[in-house]
């Protein structure tokens, strides 16, 4: 299904994004690289603050001017950052578009839906008013909105959350983009609508041969929908592989923790969840060692002092960990921590079981 002619459509290489703040430089993205071919979907997964949205905004040239960007982003052989400085108007929103989490804030509340979709057609593709209006109707039909012609004259507040997100997708598709970035497109929506929107995006990607980046905090959402998955933490790539490999040969303890922490619908009632203790690190200090070490079950002494490199595990599967899951080193590190009750980072192993509370005492 993937259309690969050797060179990827999008290529991100050693991307670093920093923001200068009063407290120091925030390293939001710290050396991320990936390739994406036409027709394929990359899932980027991680907690809040892991740098996934900043990565997307860098690609889309949506960062504020004070952001410090290093590294390269190439789209179809062109340097995206050079395009940005030359002020290329008809690139973003035409060849590359983005769908955001909250459909209400992506739409202009005082403009009719039809005008908002037609706007990009008129500006970028120089369509006449009537042509643009007709095309907007067709687009609404493609994204599965009932009575599309009637909706053109409605305002965003007259539509439900699911319909608004469909309108936003229609706007994103207006100029037939070759890359669509969807940043948590369904987080604000009901489960029933979430499935429809994800199915819709997947169908459109296949129909139009678009490349897609799907950003989410839920591994369940990208499983079965993304071709490749990149797991991010503290601005870095922790693990990256094609979806089947990632789930069958999961290597990074963070990926494992992300999967175990979500209650799954097939788990019996009152199954104890495995939390990820603590919270994501401040990315202000230059840390030595692995950023996940303070929250990791398999943490060893070397994790605290030496930054793990992103190593090849075979078949394009990369992982940055000193003691990967499923290896002898990793298993030994974990059982040593379990035996001593505390990890080298000073984390009480009980935090993975009872969240630091003596459950049930006194009852």
List C-alpha distances in Å: 64 to 17, 19, 242: 11, 9, 32
90 makes contact with another protein (CB under 8 A): no
Task: Tell me which of 22, 266, 312, 328 binds another protein, using CB under 8 A.
Answer: 266
Rounded Cα distance between 22 and 30, Å, is 19
Rounded Cα distance between 162 and 62, Å, is 25
Q: Which is nearer to another protein, 37 or 152 (CB)?
A: 152
271 makes contact with another protein (CB under 8 A): yes
Instruction: Tell me the two tokens of residue 7.
Output: 């060179």
359 makes contact with another protein (CB under 8 A): yes
147 makes contact with another protein (CB under 8 A): no
The stretch among 8-16, 20-28, 73-81, 221-229 that binds another protein (CB under 8 A) is 221-229
157 makes contact with another protein (CB under 8 A): no
Rounded Cα distance between 270 and 279, Å, is 24
Task: Tell me which of 70, 111, 209, 220 binds another protein, using CB under 8 A.
Answer: 220
Q: In sequence order, what are the residues at sequence separation of 6 or more whose Cβ sits closer than 8 angstroms to the Cβ of residue 346?
A: 294
CB of 348 to another protein, least distance (A): 11
3-state SS, residue 26: strand
Strands 41-45 and 67-75: unpaired
Other CB atoms within 10 A of residue 289 CB: 18
Q: Which is nearer to another protein, 13 or 354 (CB)?
A: 354
156 makes contact with another protein (CB under 8 A): no
- The answer to whether residues 17 and 63 touch, using CB atoms and an 8 Å cutoff, is yes
* Lookup result for tokens 């979500």: 262
Task: Tell me which of 4, 105, 160, 288 binds another protein, using CB under 8 A.
Answer: 160
332 makes contact with another protein (CB under 8 A): no
Task: Tell me which of 5, 23, 48, 66 binds another protein, using CB under 8 A.
Answer: 48
Q: Pick the closest to residue 11 from 174, 211, 183 (CA basis).
A: 211
258 makes contact with another protein (CB under 8 A): yes
The stretch among 68-76, 83-91, 260-268, 336-344 that binds another protein (CB under 8 A) is 260-268
363 makes contact with another protein (CB under 8 A): yes
Report CA 95 to chain centroid distance, whole Å.
19
Bridge partners of 350? none
- Residues lying near another protein in the complex (CB under 8 A) are found at 47-48, 146, 160-163, 190-196, 217-218, 220-221, 223-224, 257-258, 261-277, 279, 354-357, 359-363
């Amino acid at each position: 299904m993937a259309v690969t002619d050797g060179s990827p459509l999008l290529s991100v290489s050693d991307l670093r994004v920093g923001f200068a703040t009063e407290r120091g430089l925030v390293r939001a993205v710290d050396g991320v690289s990936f390739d994406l071919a036409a027709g394929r979907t990359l899932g980027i997964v991680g907690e809040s603050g892991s740098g996934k949205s900043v990565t997307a905004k860098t690609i889309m040239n949506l960062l504020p001017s004070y952001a410090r960007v290093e590294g390269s982003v190439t789209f179809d052989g062109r340097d995206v950052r050079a395009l940005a400085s030359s002020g290329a108007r008809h690139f973003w929103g035409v060849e590359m578009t983005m769908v955001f989490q909250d459909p209400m804030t992506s739409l202009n509340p005082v403009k009719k839906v039809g005008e908002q979709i037609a706007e990009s057609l008129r500006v970028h593709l120089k369509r006449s008013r009537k042509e643009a209006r007709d095309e907007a109707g067709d687009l609404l039909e493609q994204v599965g909105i009932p009575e599309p012609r009637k909706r053109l004259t409605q305002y965003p507040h007259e539509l439900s959350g699911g319909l608004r997100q469909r309108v936003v997708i229609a706007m994103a598709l207006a100029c037939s983009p070759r890359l669509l970035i969807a940043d948590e497109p369904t987080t604000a929506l009901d489960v029933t609508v979430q499935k429809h929107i994800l199915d819709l995006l997947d169908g459109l990607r296949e129909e139009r041969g678009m490349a897609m980046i799907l950003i989410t905090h839920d591994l369940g959402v990208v499983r079965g929908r993304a071709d490749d998955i990149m797991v991010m933490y503290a601005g870095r790539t922790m693990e990256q592989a094609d979806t089947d490999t990632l789930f069958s040969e999961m290597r990074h303890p963070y990926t494992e923790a992300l999967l175990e922490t979500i209650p799954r619908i097939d788990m019996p009632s009152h199954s104890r969840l495995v939390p990820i203790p603590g919270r994501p690190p401040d990315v202000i200090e230059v840390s030595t060692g692995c950023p996940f070490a303070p929250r990791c079950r398999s943490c060893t002494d070397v994790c605290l002092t030496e930054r793990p490199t992103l190593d090849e595990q075979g078949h394009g599967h990369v992982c940055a960990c000193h003691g990967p899951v499923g290896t002898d080193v990793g298993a030994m590190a974990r059982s040593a921590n379990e035996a001593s009750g505390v990890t080298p980072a000073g984390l009480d192993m009980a935090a993975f079981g009872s969240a630091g509370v003596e459950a049930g005492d006194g009852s």
